[in-house]
Amino acid sequence: MIDLKELMKADIKFKKIWESSCKNHRILYFQVNNGDEGIEAHFHPFGEDHALILEGELTYNISFEEQIIAVKNNLVFGWSNYVHGYCNFSERPLHILVFATPENNLSVYDQREQKSKNYSNIRLLKKLPPKEKIFSNRIIFSSTPPKDFSNCLAINLKYQTIDSNPNIVKSNDNLYITFNLISSYSKIL
């Protein structure tokens, strides 16, 4: 079990807090203060990273041109080939968990690199999809416990803990994270 509240008290800026045995899935912790650089707008040609806001106010950059605000327990998606980035303009520290997959999750930060690298699949997100249609092909986030817990972690949003044995700790406050094995990646956990 990982106690996220203790991690946030430690004033740590970055820490890898979990990684699957095949190294294709990981959870990264970030603290971003006002005035910090944050994570610039970027895209992943082959991977994804999604963020859960633990505390604070995230300014989420979309498509090098738009921003939305996300707050505690909100989840933002950084799908493959969608431009996204993270920053904090609030006075309070921002604490987020980033769920990243796969292992070689190349990030491209420079908008000018798109043409020279010939990334023809770049999709600029003009409008967020309706909440009921937001999903990822690699990671499933759900408030409902899955039938199979073998590739699952649970985050208790109330107590801010992560449990790798979520079938033991079922709670209405849990967000279940299941790592989808749809690709050629080896089994996790």
62 within domain boundaries: yes
Q: Is the pLDDT assigned to residue 76 strictly greater than 80?
A: yes
DSSP assignment letter at 108: B
Query: What integer is the mean pLDDT of 79-95?
Result: 88
Mean pLDDT along residues 22-34: 90
How many angstroms separate the Cα of 105 from the Cα of each of 14, 34, 101, 156? 17, 27, 6, 27
Domain housing 167 = 2-179
Q: Is residue 188 part of a domain?
A: no
Mean pLDDT of the chain: 78
pLDDT of residue 105 exceeding 80: no
Judged against a pLDDT cut of 90, whether residue 125 lies above it is answered with no
Give residue 1's pLDDT band: very low, low, confident or very high (50, 70, 90): confident
Please state the domain count of the chain. Answer: 1
Is residue 184 situated within a structural domain?
A: no
Q: Which CATH number characterizes residue 165's domain?
A: 2.60.120.10
pLDDT score recorded for residue 114: 46
Domain assignment present for 114: yes
- Classify strands 26-32 and 152-156 as parallel, antiparallel or unpaired: unpaired
Query: Is residue 185 situated within a structural domain?
Result: no
**DSSP code, position 24:** S
- Structural domain includes residue 186: no
pTM for the model stands at 0.78
**How far, in Å, CA of 110 to CA of 62, rounded?**
14
Q: What is the pLDDT of residues 127-156, one digit of tens each?
A: 545 545 555 667 888 888 888 777 788 899
In a domain? residue 187: no
Q: Is residue 132 part of a domain?
A: yes
